[in-house]
A and B are shown apart, each in its own frame.
Chain A
Amino acid sequence: MSYAIVGQRVRRVDAREKVSGRAVYTGDLNLPHMLVGKVLRSPHAHARILSIDTSKARSLPGVKAVLTWEDTPKILWNSAGFPPSPGAVLMEDQYILTDKARYVGDAVAAVAAVDEDTAERALELIEVEYEALTPAMDVEAAMAEGAPLIHSAEKNVAAHMPVVIGDVEEGFRQADFVFEDRYYVPKVYQVTMEPCGVAVAAPDIDGRITIWTSTQMPHLVRGITAHALGLKTGKVRIIKPPVGGAFGSRLGVVNEPVAALLALKSGYPVMLKYTREESFLGTESRHPITMVLKTGVKKDGSFTARQMTAYIDGGAYATHTPSFAGPVAGWFLAMYKCANIKVDNYSVYTNSTQCGAFRGYGNPQVVFAVESQVDDIAMALGLDPLEIRRKNHPCEGEVWTWSGWEIESCGLEEAIERGAKAIGWDTKRNGQAVPSGTKKRGVGMGYMMHVSGARPMLHETSAAVVKINEDGSANLIFSNSDVGQGSGTALTQVAAEELGLAYEDVMITKTADTDVAGFDIGSHASRQAYSGGNAVRKAAAAAREKLLTMAAEILQVPVENLTVENGVVLTREGEEKSISVAEVSHKAHFGSHGHQIIGVASEEPEGNPPVYAAQFAEVEVDTETGVVEVLKVVAAHDVGTAINPTLVEGQIQGALQQGIGYALTEEYRYDPASGRPLNANLADYKILTAMDMPEVETILVEASCRTGPFGAKSVGESGLVGTAAAIANAVFDATGIRFRELPITPEKVLAALRAQEK
C-alpha cells in the first residue's frame, strides 16, 4: 500500500532550527531574576547523616535557599514515569533530599543562589557529619548473610517475581540435552549529549509552578512532581523544549522536584543543571543483571523447558526496578515457543546510583543471554543458527506471550533471509572450523522481538487535537515528546496523510505543554508512532469527516463520494467537482456556520504489535592484543509500515552505536570497596567516535499490522537489542570462545585466548 506522505523521506520538522543553533533547549533559557540551583552530593556510598549545619551557607550573601531533608515534604515517592496500571509496581522509597546516603552522589542538600559561584561556595559551607556504613556494590554483596540493609527490605531484596508456565521440571525430563549457563551484563549509561538533569522551575503568584524540563514524559512528570511536593497535579505545569537525547534516561522525574522545591522556597525561578559528572553520578542507568539460563532441548532443536533466574541490580532506590522485572520476564517468555517456562526475578538494592530505563528496557540484557545460549545449542546440535531460530520463534497468528495476544504481523523470516545474504552468511561463516592466523574473522547473528508500547502491562493513553485553519493549513496539538527520535515529524506525516493536506501545511506543537495538550504517556516503550500515531490519525479523521461533510453540502454531492488529496476536496469519480480545503475552512469560519473544524481524540491503542529484527555482525579478532573490531553490522528490522524510512534508519543506526558500545567498550564502574564511581566522564566512559563505527547496513522489512496507524509498529528501542548477542556470536565464530559477560574487552579476550591455548 502506498501513501502520499506516509512512507516519504520528508525533512524533519525541527531540523532547520537545530542545524542553525536556533533551537532553544531548557539549559538555554534565561528568566528574569533566575537563580542557579546546586545539589550537595554524598561522598559516601552508604552513610548515616548525623547532622547537617547549614548556618554558614544560609548567611552567605546571594544565597536565597538552602534545603535539607528537614525542608522537604515528608512524602515518599518513586521517580519512575509510570501511569497507575496493573504492571506498575511503584515502591515509594525516596524523598526529594535524603536523610541517609545510599550511593556516592545521593542528594543530601540543595541551594539556590544568585550565580553559580555563590551557589558552589554555599555548598562548600554546608557541614555534614556522616557515619560511614559498609556499602554493598553488587547483588552478591547485597544479598549476602549479614549485609548492611540499604532500606528495610530483607537481604536487600526489594521484590521477587516468579512466573511459571507449564512445568519446567517435567520439561527438563523430556529433554535430550540440558544447557545451563550464567551470564552477566554491566551497568551502562545513556550518555545523552545534553547531560541528564536540566530543569527551570518558576513559581507564580497564584500558587502554581511552571517547570521547563528536558523530559520524555511531560504529563507523568507533572503528576510525580506534584505528588512529591504535596501539590495537586493541576498546580504544576510542565513545558518540554527540545531535548538533547533521552534513551530512557528522562523516563520519569530527574531533578524536577528539587528544582521546584528550591523555586518554591526561594520564590524565584531556579535553573538546576547537572554537570556531566553529576548526570553520571545522580541519574538512572541500565540495570546490571546476572542471569542463569537453563534450557532443555530435543535433538531436533525444539525446546522442552526454558528457565531464567535473574538477579537485577536496581541500585539505591526502587524507582523502575520492581516493575522492570516484569518486562525482563516478558522478553524471556516471548522469544521462543516452549510449553514449560519459568522465570525467577529478584530486584536487589545496592549502593550504586539507582537504575532505570535505557533503550530496550531489559531486552538487550535478556537477548544477550538467550541468543548466546541458543547459538551454543545450535553448535552442540549441529544445527544452522538461523534454522534453530526459524524453528522456535513464535510467528504471525500465534500467541505472543509478552501480551497474551495474537501476533498481528511478523517479518522475521524475511529479515533473517535478507540479513544473512547482506552479511555473506553462507560464505563467511566458519562454523565448526576456527580459523588460524593472528587476525581471525567471524560472523554471528542475534534475533530480537520488541514491543510497540507497553500494553497490557501499562496504560498507553494519547490525545491529539487537529484544527483546520481558515487558510487550509492545520495545527496538530500534541504533547510532543520528541526527544530527538523524530516522532514529531512522523506524527505530522500521519496527520497530513489522513487529512489529505501537504506535509508542510500541518504544524505540530513542537514544545509540549501540559496546560495545552491532552494527556499523553510520553516517549517510552517505542510507543510514539503506534500509540501517538493512532490518536493523531483518529483526531485527523474526525476533522476530515467534518470537512467532507461540509464540502458535500457546498458541492451538493453525497459525502461518501468525496475524498481529499493535497489540500483539495474532490469527487472520487474524477475532478468534475472540487473545492479547496482552504475554501471549505474559510466558509466554516466565516460563513453561516461560524465554527472551526476541529478533530479530537483521546484513547489507548487496541493492541501492542511486536516488531522483529535479525542483526548480523562480522568481526575481526586480533589474537595478539585481544581487540575485537566490528567490520560490518547488518540490521534487518521489521518495523511495520515505515512512516519515514530516513527516521527509521536513523533510529537503528544510532542504536547500533550504543549496542556495539554495550558489546565492547561501555561499562560504568565503581570501586567495589568505596563505591566511588571510577569513570564518570566521557574520557573513561567510552562511547564510540565516528572513527570507531563500522560499516552499517540497515534493511527495512515492512510487515504492516492491522492496528497501527497506516500499519506502523515501532522502531525506537529495537536497534540495539540484538547487537551485543550478534557480536558475541561472531567472536565465537572467529575464535571458538564464548563470552558470557559484557563488555568483551581486549583484556578478557586475550585472557580467554591464553586459556584456550593451554
Chain B
Amino acid sequence: MPQSLLKLDNVTKVFLTDEVETHALSGIHLEINKGEYVAIAGPSGCGKSTLLSILGLLDTPTEGTYLLNDRPVQGLTPAERARIRNRQIGFIFQSFNLIGDLSVYENVELPLTYRGMPASDRKARVEEALEKVGMAHRAKHVPSQLSGGQQQRVAVARALAGYPAVLLADEPTGNLDSKNGDAVMELLHSLHRAGSTILMVTHDTRFARHAQRTVHLFDGRVVEESVEEKA
C-alpha cells in the first residue's frame, strides 16, 4: 500500500498586483507517495514553479489544504515552516543557488548548521553527500571554480545531506548543457532507485520521461496525468 507523502487538495494561488488578480493555480489536487518520482510539466507561465514553491513551503496557498506526511502545513508559523524545509525537503534549483562566498563543503554543510547538528555529525553527512555526487575532491573549492554541472551536483549534495523526505527539483537541467543535463538526470534517477522521493518541475518532456508519473499543468490547472512505463 503506497504511503502518501504530499497531498494537495483544491489548492488555489492568487497573486494580487495593483488590484489585478492573477490566478496562478486553480483547484489543484495532487498526491505524491513516498518513493515516487514525479515530474510536473507544462509551458512557461503555467504555474509549475508556483506549485513547487507551495510544495516546498516557500509560499502559501490562497485556498485549499496541503498535507505533508499527513500533517496540514498551510497554517504553520514561519519558524515551523523553516524547520520543515530544513528537515524534510531538499531543494535543487535551476540556477543552483549556491552561496558564492562559501566553499563546496560549507554550502553542503549549511542546512545542517541550521539544525544545530554537532560538527562531527555534519562532517560525516557532508562527506557522504559529496561522495554520493562525486564531488568530494572539490570540497574546498568555491562555486565560481566549478562548472555548471559540478555546481548542480553540489546543489544535489546539499539537498541530500539532510536526508530529506522529498527532493524538489526546479528545472534542474535548465542551466546545463545536454551532457551535464543528462548526468544530473542520471544522478536523480540513481537517487530515486536508492529510495528517494523526487518531484521535478520541467518544461522539457525529454527529461519528464525519467519520472514515473508526469503531471501536466496548463493555466494553473492539472490538465493531464501520465504514467511512464519505464521509470
To the question of whether A and B form a pair in one complex, the answer is no
Instruction: Give chain B's interface residues, CB within 8 Å of chain A.
Output: none
